[in-house]
Amino acid sequence: MTEASVEATPDVDKLTTPDANTKLLEAQREIISRKRLKPFTKRTDRHGLMYFGGHMSIIFGTGYLVYLATGTGWLIPTMFLHGVMLGHLFAPMHETSHGTAFRSRWLNETVHWITGILIVWTPTYFRYDHTGHHTHAQEFGQDPEFVLPSPSSWIDYIYYVTGIHQWVKNLGWIFRHSMGRIRPFNRQFVPEDQLPKIFLEARIFLAIYVTVAVVSIALGSWAAAIYWAIPTVIGLPVARALRVADHTGCTEGHLDLRTYARTLKTDPLTRFLCWNMPYHCEHHLAPSVPFHALPALHREVGHEMNPLDKGYWAVQWDVIRDHLEKKLRFHLIQST
Three-state secondary structure readout of 241-282 = HHHHHHHCCCCCCCCCCCCCCCECCCCHHHHHHCCCCCEHHH
Euclidean distance between CA atoms 248 and 323, whole angstroms = 8
- Which pLDDT belongs to residue 104? 97
Let me know: does 301 contact 282? Beta carbons within 8 Å.
yes
Taking the CB of residue 55, how many other CB atoms lie within 10 A of it? 21
Average pLDDT over residues 201-214: 98
Euclidean distance between CA atoms 326 and 316, whole angstroms = 15
How does residue 328 score in pLDDT terms, banded at 50, 70 and 90? low
Average pLDDT over residues 292-297: 97
More confident residue, 19 or 313: 313
Let me know: does 226 contact 82? Beta carbons within 8 Å.
no
- Which pLDDT belongs to residue 5? 32
Average pLDDT over residues 143-170: 94
How does residue 151 score in pLDDT terms, banded at 50, 70 and 90? confident
| 69 CB burial (10 A radius; 0-12, 13-18, 19+) | middle
Rounded to a whole number of angstroms, the CA Rg of the chain reads 20
How does residue 10 score in pLDDT terms, banded at 50, 70 and 90? very low
How does residue 94 score in pLDDT terms, banded at 50, 70 and 90? very high
Closest to 119 measured CA to CA, from 88, 145, 97, 95 = 88
pLDDT value at 329 more than 80: no
Listed ranges 18-22, 224-228, 313-317; the one with the highest mean pLDDT = 224-228
Q: What rounded mean pLDDT belongs to the chain?
A: 90
More confident residue, 305 or 122: 122
- Which pLDDT belongs to residue 332? 52
How does residue 22 score in pLDDT terms, banded at 50, 70 and 90? confident
* CA angle (33, 34, 37) in 5-degree steps: 85
Query: Cα torsion for 227, 229, 235, 241, to the nearest 10°?
Result: 150
Residue-wise pLDDT tens digits, 231-267: 999 999 999 999 999 999 999 998 899 999 999 999 9
Backbone angles phi, psi at 144, to 5 degrees: -75, -10
pLDDT value at 301 more than 80: yes
Report the run of H or E that residue 308 belongs to, with start and end. none
Sheet strands (E) in the chain: 152-153, 324-325
More confident residue, 336 or 202: 202
